[in-house]
Amino acid sequence: MAEGKVIPTRDSFGRLQDGTEISRFTFKNKNNITVRIINYGGIVTDILVPDKNGKVVDINLGFDDIKGYEARHPYFGAICGRVANRIAGGKFTLDGKEYQLAVNNGPNHLHGGVKGFDKMVWKARVDDDTLVLTYVSPDGEEHYPGELTVEVRYRLTNENELVIDYTATTTKATPINLTNHAYFNLAGQGYPNIDDHVLWIDAYTYTPLDQNIIPTGVITSVEGTAYDLRTPTRLGDRLKYVNNGKGYDINFCVGGQLGKLTRVASLEHPPSGRKMEVFTTEPGIQCYTGCNMATGVFGKGGVEYQKFASVCLETQHYANSVNQPNFPNTILRPGETYRHTTVYKFGLTA
Ligand code: BGC
């Protein structure tokens, strides 16, 4: 084993209903952090991290077996694409041609459509300390143009970083927006609330929404609003003031230079001392605190997941960018390479 690197091991995570065997990859670093990922949906199934007393719990919502992930669920731990987040009406015009994508969330297209990247079996190989997942999305899949070849590289370092590198190329111009949709609760998955979590997001602006949960197109200051998280804020004190008590489900325009890996958010849980920092090359974070979580979702260990009991920090481009010329570009053209890196770094509060 190479010095200082965390080499993943592979085992079976069972079979899909059609008999396809799913592989699971386990990374365990020298600080007792374990991350497990499957090649179904590129899903991060487990993130086990110690607290200030060394007690290890899983901070990532999900299921114990493949059956749970194959059933309908809110994208736990999954890679979302071809375009994560919403596209208004599932419609867009590109180079003079109109496209109508699958509509799967009220009037909108969400997280890649009816069968997004979260439900695909990805080709998997281990390259030294990296799990390399590839998926070739055919021309016309969910009515998107062009064959898109996507590679997602996952690794865990001994500096406690879960590094996710995304690249993609296409045969025709297409919108693209990839993210990972992990749901975190630093008290442990299944804990019934996130009140004691302290969230910081380095965003001076955000994108307000219309009644269909689509950005109006305006990029506006967080100053004086419940979206100002530039000072670390205890969620239990804040969530009741956000969106009539529904909590966060919105895009923050994060600081940093587009394409440059920048520390843009942190989530801390003072009672356990667990902490997570987020670094990304992306211009946005969709912060989602679980307001749409359905009842009757039983996760790991049979625990029923509650609304408002987890935080997603989905690094990505802004929702509906393909229809908003003033938002950063999401069109990938033949000959170009889409690149996105996000790092979730785990640790202890000072
Ligand atoms: C969206 C939410 C949605 C959730 C699960 C988030 O990215 O912003 O509106 O309910 O994903 O689909």
Render 31-73 in DSSP notation, one character per residue.
Answer: TS-EEEEESBTT-EEEEEEE-TTS-EEE-B---SSHHHHHS--
Q: What is the pLDDT of residue 258?
A: 85
319 Cα to the center of ligand 1, angstroms: 11
Ligand 1 atom at shortest distance from the alpha carbon of 110: 12
Q: What is the pLDDT of residue 3?
A: 58
Q: What is the pLDDT of residue 1?
A: 43
User: How do strand 262-269 and strand 312-316 relate by DSSP bridges?
Assistant: unpaired
Which of 249, 310, 320 for mutating ligand 1's site (highest number of atoms within 8 Å of CB)? 249
Cα 82 from chain centroid (whole Å): 13
B/e letters for 269-293, b = 16+ CB within 10 Å, e = fewer, are: beebbbbbbbbbbbbbbbbbbbeeb
Which of 79, 104, 292 for mutating ligand 1's site (highest number of atoms within 8 Å of CB)? 292
Contact 277, 265 (CB under 8 A): yes
Can you tell me the distance from the alpha carbon of 193 to that of 303, in angstroms, rounded to the nearest whole number? 13
Supply 45's token pair.
Answer: 């199934």
Q: Does any ligand 1 atom lie closer than 6 A to the CB of residue 279?
A: no
pTM attached to this predicted model: 0.97
Beta bridge partners of 139: none
pLDDT in tens, 123-164: 999 999 999 999 999 999 999 999 999 999 999 999 999 999
Can you tell me the distance from the alpha carbon of 264 to that of 206, in angstroms, rounded to the nearest whole number? 14
Nearest protein Cα to ligand 1, atom 12: 74
Residue 2 has pLDDT above 70, yes or no: no
- Which of 197-206, 225-234, 236-245, 254-263 is least confident? 254-263
Can you tell me the distance from the alpha carbon of 171 to that of 260, in angstroms, rounded to the nearest whole number? 26
Q: Is the dihedral of CA 17, 65, 73, 156 positive or negative?
A: negative
Nearest protein Cα to ligand 1, atom 7: 85
**Confidence bin at 194 (pLDDT 50/70/90):** very high
Average pLDDT rounded to a whole number, residues 299-328: 97
| Mean model confidence pLDDT for the chain | 97
pLDDT in tens, 252-276: 999 778 899 999 999 999 999 999 9
Ligand 1 atom at shortest distance from the alpha carbon of 80: 7
At 235, which helix (H) or strand (E)? helix 235-238
Alpha helices in 243-293 (DSSP H): none
